[in-house]
C-alpha cells in the first residue's frame, strides 16, 4: 500500500504565520515519495480573495505561498503524489478546469502532472474514502457537492464579515452565540470592535435577505447532477452509489429563512434590543412604552432560551461522525477520513484530521498516516512537533 499521509484545514492566507508554512514544508520534505492528501481547505480563498474569480484567486493563493508551492511541486516532481480535496473555503481547487492552474503553479511537467489529483468532493482508494465533510454541515453545505455556485452561510459570513473587518480570529468561533462574539470583539479588536459588531449585523441581515424564497439552488443542482455519471467513473463507484451519497447531504441553512433567522440568533438580538429599549424608556419615565418593550423582550428571550442553546442540531464533529458511518455503509468503505471540524477524531472506521494550522490542545500539528492493506486501511494519529 502506498504510504499515505492525510492533513487538512490549513486555511493558508497571506497572513499565515511563518511557523505553519515551515511545518508544512518540513513535513512534505520528510516524506518524499509518499502520497500526501490535503482533505480540504488548503487555502482560505473566501477570506483572502473574496468575490474574486475562482481561477484568479487560486493562482494568487499559490503565488503568495512560494515556499509551500515549491515544496509541494518538488514532492510531486520527484515521484510523490499530491491529492487535493476541495473544501468549503477553497472550492476552486476541485474544479476540473483548474487542475492545470495548480499543475502550472507547481511547475509540473509530463507524467508528474498525473500524480496531482484534485476533486470537488471525495477520492477513493479501495476501502479508503477521503472527503472534506462540509456537505454534512448545514452552514457550509453546497446544494450539490459536485458544483459550487451558491454561497453557503459560512462562506457568506467569511466574505462579508471576516474579510472586510480582518476579524480572522472568528474563523474558529462559528459555533458560539452572538453575545460571546460581541464580548470578544472588544477584547480582540479594541477600538475597532464597534465596526466589527456593525459588520456582523450587516452580514446577518443580508444573509436573511438572501435565504428562503430568495435562495435559488436550482441551477447548481442541475449542473451537479449532470456531472454525477462522469464523477462515478473517476472514483470507481456505481452511479447509483454516488446518487445515494448525494442524498446523504443536508439542506443548506440559507435554503430556509426560519433556519437562517435562528442560526444567526436574530431572535435573541431583537429581544436584547427590546430589553434595552425598555430600560431606556424607564430612564425617561415613559412607563407605558417601557412595560411593553420589557415585556416583549423578556417573552422573546425566554422563548428563545426555551428552544435551547444548540441551534445546530448537534456539533459539527458529531454531524461528521454520524455522516461518516452512513458513507461507510453506503459505499462499503472500511475507513472514512474527513476534515472540516477542526477537531481530531479517531475511531473504528472513522478519522478526522483536525486542523494542521489550528491544533486544539494537541502536542503538535495533527495529521494522519494510513496503514494496513488497501482493502482494510486504518488511520494512525501523528503530530508534527516543531523543535
Give the Cβ contact number of residue 310 at 10 Å.
9
Residue 269 lies in a domain: no
Which helix (H) or strand (E) segment holds residue 218: the answer is helix 218-235
- For the segment 263-289, the average pLDDT, to the nearest whole number, is 75
Asked if 152 and 252 count as a contact pair (C-beta separation under 8 A), the reply is: yes
Query: Which of 93-107, 144-158, 175-189, 320-334 is the least confident region?
Result: 175-189
pLDDT band at residue 337 using 50, 70 and 90 as cut-offs? very high
Parent domain of 93:
4-150+215-255+313-384
| Total domains in the fold of the chain | 1
Kindly list the distances between the CA atom of residue 24 and the CA atoms of 2, 8, 20, 80, 280, in Å, as whole numbers in the listed order.
20, 11, 6, 15, 54
Kindly list the distances between the CA atom of residue 296 and the CA atoms of 258, 268, 281, in Å, as whole numbers in the listed order.
20, 12, 14
- For the segment 165-174, the average pLDDT, to the nearest whole number, is 72
Confidence at residue 192, expressed as pLDDT on a 0 to 100 scale: 85
> CATH number for the domain including 141?
3.60.21
Residue 135 lies in a domain: yes
Residue 271 lies in a domain: no
pLDDT band at residue 77 using 50, 70 and 90 as cut-offs? very high
156 pLDDT more than 70 = yes
- For the segment 249-276, the average pLDDT, to the nearest whole number, is 81
In the numeric block, the cell 430600560 is attached to 279
Conformation bin of residue 243: beta by default, left when phi > 0, alpha when psi is -120 to 50: alpha
pLDDT averaged over every residue in the chain: 88
Give the Cβ contact number of residue 353 at 10 Å.
31
Query: Which of 50-59, 67-76, 172-181 is the least confident region?
Result: 172-181
CA distance 313 to 138: 10
Asked if 36 and 5 count as a contact pair (C-beta separation under 8 A), the reply is: yes
Confidence at residue 343, expressed as pLDDT on a 0 to 100 scale: 92
- For the segment 69-73, the average pLDDT, to the nearest whole number, is 96
Confidence at residue 197, expressed as pLDDT on a 0 to 100 scale: 82
**Torsion over CA of 176, 177, 180 and 186, rounded to 10 degrees?**
100
The runs of H, that is alpha helices, within 252-286 are 257-263, 266-283
Distance linking the first and last C-alpha atoms of the chain? 30
CA distance 268 to 159: 24
Query: Which of 63-67, 204-208, 268-272, 307-311 is the least confident region?
Result: 307-311
Residue 374 lies in a domain: yes
pLDDT band at residue 221 using 50, 70 and 90 as cut-offs? very high
Pairwise pLDDT comparison (369 vs 316), residue with the higher score:
369
214 burial (CB, 10 Å; 0-12 / 13-18 / 19+) is exposed
Q: Which three cell numbers stand for residue 67?
A: 515556499
Residue 303 lies in a domain: no
Residue 205 lies in a domain: no
Residue 387 CB contacts under 8 Å (≥ 6 apart), including other chains: none
What would the DSSP string read from start to end of 301-332? Answer: HHHHHHT-S--SSS-HHHHHHHHHHHHHHHHT
In the numeric block, the cell 452580514 is attached to 203
Residue 249 lies in a domain: yes
**Torsion over CA of 187, 192, 193 and 199, rounded to 10 degrees?**
-140
Confidence at residue 306, expressed as pLDDT on a 0 to 100 scale: 62
Residue 290 lies in a domain: no
Cα angle, residue 147 at apex, residues 145 and 148 outer, rounded to 5°: 90
315 pLDDT more than 90 = no
pLDDT band at residue 311 using 50, 70 and 90 as cut-offs? very low
Q: Is the dihedral of CA 127, 130, 133, 136 positive or negative?
A: negative
Amino acid at each position: 500500500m502506498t504510504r499515505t499521509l492525510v492533513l487538512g484545514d490549513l486555511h493558508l492566507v497571506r497572513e499565515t504565520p511563518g511557523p505553519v508554512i515551515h511545518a508544512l514544508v518540513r513535513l512534505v520534505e520528510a516524506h518524499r515519495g509518499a502520497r500526501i492528501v490535503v482533505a480540504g481547505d488548503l487555502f482560505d480563498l473566501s477570506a483572502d480573495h473574496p468575490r474574486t474569480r475562482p481561477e484568479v484567486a487560486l493562482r494568487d493563493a499559490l503565488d503568495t505561498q512560494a515556499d509551500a508551492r515549491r515544496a509541494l511541486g518538488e514532492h510531486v516532481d520527484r515521484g510523490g503524489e499530491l491529492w487535493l480535496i476541495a473544501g468549503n473555503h477553497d472550492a476552486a481547487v476541485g474544479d476540473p478546469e483548474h487542475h492545470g492552474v495548480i499543475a502550472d503553479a507547481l511547475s509540473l511537467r509530463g507524467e508528474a502532472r498525473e500524480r496531482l489529483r484534485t476533486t470537488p468532493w471525495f477520492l477513493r482508494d479501495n476501502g479508503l474514502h477521503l472527503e472534506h465533510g462540509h456537505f454534512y454541515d448545514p452552514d457550509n453545505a453546497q446544494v450539490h457537492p459536485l458544483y459550487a455556485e451558491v454561497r453557503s452561510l459560512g462562506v457568506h459570513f467569511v466574505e462579508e464579515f471576516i474579510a472586510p473587518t480582518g476579524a480572522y480570529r472568528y474563523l474558529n468561533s462559528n459555533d458560539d452565540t452572538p453575545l460571546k462574539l460581541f464580548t470578544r470583539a472588544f477584547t480582540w479588536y479594541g477600538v475597532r470592535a464597534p465596526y466589527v459588531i456593525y459588520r456582523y449585523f450587516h452580514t446577518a441581515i443580508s444573509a436573511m435577505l438572501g435565504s428562503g424564497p430568495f435562495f435559488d439552488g436550482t441551477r447548481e443542482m442541475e449542473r451537479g447532477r449532470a456531472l454525477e455519471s462522469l464523477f462515478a467513473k473517476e472514483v470507481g463507484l456505481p452511479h447509483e452509489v454516488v446518487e445515494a451519497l448525494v442524498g446523504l447531504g443536508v439542506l443548506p441553512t440559507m435554503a430556509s429563512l426560519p433556519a437562517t433567522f435562528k442560526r444567526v440568533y436574530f431572535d435573541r438580538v431583537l429581544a436584547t434590543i427590546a430589553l434595552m429599549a425598555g430600560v431606556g424608556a424607564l430612564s425617561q419615565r415613559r412607563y407605558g412604552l417601557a412595560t411593553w418593550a420589557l415585556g416583549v423582550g423578556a417573552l422573546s428571550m425566554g422563548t428563545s432560551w426555551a428552544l435551547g442553546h444548540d441551534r445546530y442540531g448537534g456539533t459539527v464533529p458529531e454531524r461528521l461522525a454520524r455522516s461518516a458511518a452512513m458513507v461507510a455503509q453506503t459505499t462499503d468503505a472500511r475507513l472514512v477520513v474527513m476534515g472540516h471540524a477542526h477537531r481530531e477524531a479517531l475511531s473504528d472506521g472513522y478519522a478526522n484530521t483536525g486542523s494542521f494550522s489550528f491544533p486544539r490542545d494537541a502536542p503538535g500539528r495533527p495529521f494522519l498516516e494510513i496503514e494496513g492493506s488497501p482493502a482494510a486501511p486504518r488511520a494512525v494519529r501523528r503530530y508534527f512537533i516543531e523543535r
